[in-house]
Structure 1
Amino acid sequence: MRTRLAVTALALATAVTAGLAVPATAAGPDPVQQGLETLLRSTGAPGALASVRDTKDGRDRTYTAGEGGRDTHAKMPRDGQVRIGSVTKTFTAVVVLQLVGEGRIRLDEPVETYLPNLVRGKGIDGNRITVRQLLQHTSGLPDYEDDVTDDILERRYLSPRDALDVALRREAVFVPGKDWGYSSTNYLVAGLMVEKVTGRPLAEEIDRRVIQRIGLRHTYFPAPGETTIRERHPQGYRQDRPGAKPRNVTEIDPSASWAAGAMVSTTSDLDRFFSALLKAKGNVLLDPAQLNQMRTTVRVGDGYDMGLGIMRVRLSDKCVAWGHSGGIPGYGTWAGATDDGRAVGVTMTLEPRSNEAMKHLENVMKAGLCR
């Protein structure tokens, strides 16, 4: 669930494209494969996988490193399903912006308009928080994720309203619009708003408006209480404390993460998603006006700017990507694309619990995007 906006940082395992090993080039080993190997050595993750979507033919090159299971030593499945954590937020933001385009939600309208008497707490008032501030993390709402980790790991179902109640026990972090602070609570509220406006479950809206529309075949929003991953997947692990042996946490209940971090996907599906989302012409997800709003950012750190459910990352002086990172027990992911449509998704099978780990994921994305 945690994005961990570390401002910033990031041998031969199996890497395949169209079923064939990706060879080293005349200039040396493939930089994405090298990045995965460095990721494993640096983080202790049992395995990692990545995919790169080329702008020329739209095909994905897929890579793997390490093992699919620490105890079984199973082969890492190529393009296997993984929990994507906070990358879910971009999907939720797309649905909200589609509703903005339909005139059913307004970005600068107070949350109170759509969810009357719900967002209340110490220093918290839905009349003072706008929809835009939710999507951009400038609302001042306190983050609840550390309070629900045990629920997730112990497979206890937590409804969105119950999760919001947990969040609202905390005090506001700052006055809305006066600062920036990453908080998954924003996306609990955004998801509840989608349900109130549409009269349909958020999972159905994401499936109908995003997943089916662009043909994501291996992406889904888990059903309430669903603890397993549906298709072939690597096992996911968590290190409870530094130096501890990673334990298998593949089967969890991500319900507490919900609109902020519950989804499952593959790195190639994430490539397709971000490529489609950032298209200037022929965009089937967002109209130009809404895409422009999504890409309107605030500075959140050196090299990082936050839009509406998406982040602008300066990977080098000449390479800028748009995407999102995410961590949830078992997995850590970075996924994004450049303006010309090249996309990269990368996942490690160990929950990233440090900024350094997220930086290593980012470095693999950089290796695939900045060529």
Structure 2
Amino acid sequence: MQIRARYVLPLVGVLLVAGAAAPSSAGPPPALEREGATQLQRDVDALLATGATGVLAEVSGSGRPLTARAGVADPVTREPIAWNSRHRIESTTKTFVATVVLQLVGEGRLGLDDPVQRWLPGLLAGNGDDGTAVTVRQLLGHTSGLPDYADDLPLAQATSQEEFNRERFRSHTAEQLVAMAMRHEPVFAPGQGWAYSNTNYVLAGMIVERVTGAPWEQAVHDRIVVPLGLTGTVLPGTSAYLPSPRLAAYQRLRAGGPPVDVSTRVSGHADASIISTTADVNRFFRALLSGRLLKPAQLRDMQATRPAEPFSAVWDEPGYGLGLMKRRLPCGGWVWFHGGGWWNAITDNAVTADGRRSVTVFLAGTLEPGQDPTVQAKASARLIDHALCAG
């Protein structure tokens, strides 16, 4: 997740979904549940007031989930927000992909310290970029120093409805996206710093494909979506459409311009393309932190963090591991998460260290290009803090 008005992104593959899981029947006392539901609704209303057309939040743990919503699913049609709304979860995709990579590591099919050159020979070259010096671990942890292709993507440059319409159905291969990044010099030498770059996860998806012999989407589908029964989760590939029921995102492409429905667009590669529901995102993070998806050694690798200072304006003591972030709660202890957002489709989330309680927030924002999203991000963080500190 990047703290900026246009966050992260991009595409390729095949439409994949799965089949279902039973909820737990145990739960907190009724009075505590009512208090939690009331606070959640207050926080959702406050988040809507920071600049959004729709907000949906779900708290999962023992017993019945707590849910709250505010605003509308689409400001033009004024339809209400469905509890099972599909939303582009953008960079939360990275945690799914990192989980698959670490599963392959646990199976002995891939090494975290393998150089990218071993799996993708000749791909990282030019302007000082060197595939022999960048490792898989550095890709997952954003310590590779590789430039971010996202700002060079033509869609990201759209400033009018006409430009957006021209670009939103255009797909690029993973190799083309990496080539955009290779136009630039490295941000720093591999392993000598930390900088968020979507290019890292485009490469991670390509390595999954090279190791498994199938699209990265297939690996996520077979290893995560199906086993967990994530029935609302979609890997859209080159499809530009957000399935119904949806939480539509609109954005002004230039200051003072008309709001444009930016929900219909080719959405991404292994860095930011998954579409999901609040329930599915919660189920995924609870399974991950409770040890259902990774062996202990690989979960420890994922949770080995380094400071992520660019996010300290929003979160206390943020750290980035391998496709997973942590931050300190105001009531003490740590939570784990990975949010994402682009074109005003924003996802925030967090799960307790034992995997027992989690929160996911979907937001259709209204920020204009260049607007600072920090106030909005802090309001979302407060919602999550209240939900997890009360648990």
- SS at 1:107 equivalent: coil
One of 284, 289, 298 as aligned partner of 1:290: 298
Whole-angstrom CA distance in 2 between matches of 1:365 and 1:176: 34
Could you say which residue in structure 2 is the equivalent of 1:52? 59
Give how far 1:142 is off.
Answer: 0.6
| Pairs within 5 Å for 1:274-285 | 274-279=285-290, 283-285=291-293
| Pairs within 5 Å for 1:203-218 | 203-218=217-232
Deviates more, 1:118-127 or 1:93-102: 118-127
* CA shift in 2, pair 1:26/1:98, >3 Å: closer
* CA shift in 2, pair 1:182/1:64, >3 Å: same
Give how far 1:228 is off.
Answer: 1.0
Whole-angstrom CA distance in 1 between matches of 2:351 and 2:192: 30
Task: Give the partner amino acid of 1:230.
Answer: P
Cα distance per residue 1:18-42 (max 9 Å; x no partner): 9xxx999886972221111111111
Cα distance per residue 1:50-75 (max 9 Å; x no partner): 10002x23x42221110111111111
One of 177, 181, 185 as aligned partner of 1:171: 185
- SS at 1:261 equivalent: coil
Whole-angstrom CA distance in 2 between matches of 1:28 and 1:286: 31
- C-alpha contact (below 8 Å) 2:251/2:366 kept by paired residues: yes
| Pairs within 5 Å for 1:1-371 | 2-4=1-3, 30-43=38-51, 45-54=52-61, 56-57=62-63, 59-148=64-153, 150=155, 153=164, 154-155=167-168, 156-224=170-238, 226-242=239-255, 244-254=257-267, 257-279=268-290, 283-301=291-309, 302=312, 303-340=317-354, 341-350=356-365, 354-371=373-390
- SS at 2:58 equivalent: strand
- SS at 2:66 equivalent: strand
- C-alpha contact (below 8 Å) 2:59/2:358 kept by paired residues: yes
- SS at 2:151 equivalent: helix
Structure 1 residues not aligned, in runs of 5+:
7-17
Cα distance per residue 1:75-130 (max 9 Å; x no partner): 11113010000000000100100010011111112111111111112121011111
Whole-angstrom CA distance in 1 between matches of 2:322 and 2:36: 39
Q: Considering only aligned residues, what root-mean-square deviation do their CA atoms show, in Å?
A: 2.4
- C-alpha contact (below 8 Å) 1:80/1:234 kept by paired residues: yes
- C-alpha contact (below 8 Å) 2:40/2:67 kept by paired residues: no
Task: Give the partner amino acid of 2:337.
Answer: G
- C-alpha contact (below 8 Å) 1:332/1:350 kept by paired residues: yes
Whole-angstrom CA distance in 1 between matches of 2:88 and 2:254: 21
Q: TM-score, normalised by structure 1?
A: 0.87
Cα distance per residue 1:328-371 (max 9 Å; x no partner): 22410112200231000001112766233322222222222121
Aligned residues: 347
Q: TM-score, normalised by structure 2?
A: 0.83
Task: Give the partner amino acid of 1:304.
Answer: P
Structure 2 residues not aligned, in runs of 5+:
6-24, 159-163
Whole-angstrom CA distance in 2 between matches of 1:191 and 1:147: 20
Task: Give the partner amino acid of 2:357.
Answer: R
- SS at 1:346 equivalent: strand
Task: Give the partner amino acid of 1:300.
Answer: A
Cα distance per residue 1:272-328 (max 9 Å; x no partner): 00000000xxx3310111001000111112410001000001131514210101002
Could you say which residue in structure 2 is the equivalent of 1:9? none
- C-alpha contact (below 8 Å) 1:51/1:79 kept by paired residues: no
Task: Give the partner amino acid of 1:91.
Answer: F
- C-alpha contact (below 8 Å) 2:113/2:136 kept by paired residues: yes
Deviates more, 1:170-179 or 1:356-365: 356-365
Deviates more, 1:63-72 or 1:317-326: 317-326
Whole-angstrom CA distance in 2 between matches of 1:260 and 1:95: 13
Task: Give the partner amino acid of 2:280.
Answer: D
* CA shift in 2, pair 1:36/1:121, >3 Å: farther
